[in-house]
């Protein structure tokens, strides 16, 4: 078997009963759910702002954004992502592992009835009997999300 130098590593996590993954390169850190300051007039999945060692970061609930029923458990976590030019905290049900699929274990994105979902699913990783949906967080955010995030960025600068 030839060693693939293009192997990308992903952080896999659970949202409801499904498993998802994002490229490890965008992950800055994983933390427990912090205190979040709500921002009025933002979408329901945009939870507000958190302070991470002096840096103000927008937090959104990926479960609500994707229409998945959130579960509250001790395993809930926030993945701090660097989506240049913004940093974003994303709440997930639990962190699973770092995976490093071979190219032959990845298939293209599915044809789904939900065109919105298929826009940000980039690949499907078949790991044994499980399917892990690899998502592009930047594509999962809409123009309105970016406006809410950049609005909150401006609000924190003014403060």
For residue 125, list its beta bridge partners: 106, 132
Domain annotation covers residue 41: yes
| pLDDT interval class at 158 (50, 70, 90) | very low
Q: How many domains does the chain divide into?
A: 1
- Quickly list H helices, the chain: 62-65, 115-120, 137-140, 143-158
Q: What is the mean pLDDT of the chain?
A: 82
Domain annotation covers residue 159: no
Q: Which two tokens stand for residue 73?
A: 């458990």
Closest CA to 43 of 147, 117, 116: 147
> What's the CATH code of the domain at 60?
2.40.50.180
Cα angle 131-69-127, degrees, rounded to a multiple of 5: 10
| pLDDT interval class at 4 (50, 70, 90) | very low
Domain annotation covers residue 15: yes
Domain annotation covers residue 126: yes
Question: pTM to 2 decimals?
Answer: 0.83
> Which pLDDT score is estimated for 159?
46
pLDDT for 83-124, tens place per residue?
887 889 999 999 999 999 988 888 887 665 555 556 788 889
pLDDT for 119-157, tens place per residue?
788 889 988 888 999 998 887 776 667 666 666 555 544
Question: Taking the CA of residue 135 as centre, how many other CA atoms within 13 Å lie in the half-sphere pointing to its CB?
Answer: 24
Domain annotation covers residue 14: yes
Domain annotation covers residue 91: yes
Domain annotation covers residue 156: no
Q: Provide the domain limits for residue 131.
A: 10-149
Domain annotation covers residue 4: no
């Amino acid at each position: 078997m030839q060693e693939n130098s293009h192997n990308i590593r992903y952080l896999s996590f659970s949202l409801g009963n499904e498993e998802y993954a994002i490229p490890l390169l965008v992950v800055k850190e994983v933390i427990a759910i912090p205190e979040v300051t709500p921002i009025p007039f933002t979408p329901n999945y945009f939870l507000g702002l958190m302070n991470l060692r002096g840096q103000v970061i927008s937090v959104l609930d990926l479960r609500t954004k994707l229409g998945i029923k959130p579960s509250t458990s001790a395993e809930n976590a926030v993945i701090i992502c660097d989506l240049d030019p913004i940093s974003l905290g994303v709440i997930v049900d639990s962190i699973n592992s770092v995976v490093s699929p071979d190219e032959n274990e990845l298939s293209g994105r599915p044809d789904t009835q939900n065109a919105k979902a298929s826009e940000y699913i980039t690949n499907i990783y078949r790991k044994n009997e499980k399917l892990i949906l690899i998502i592009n967080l930047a594509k999962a955010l809409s123009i309105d999300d970016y406006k809410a995030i950049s609005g909150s960025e401006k609000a924190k600068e003014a403060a």
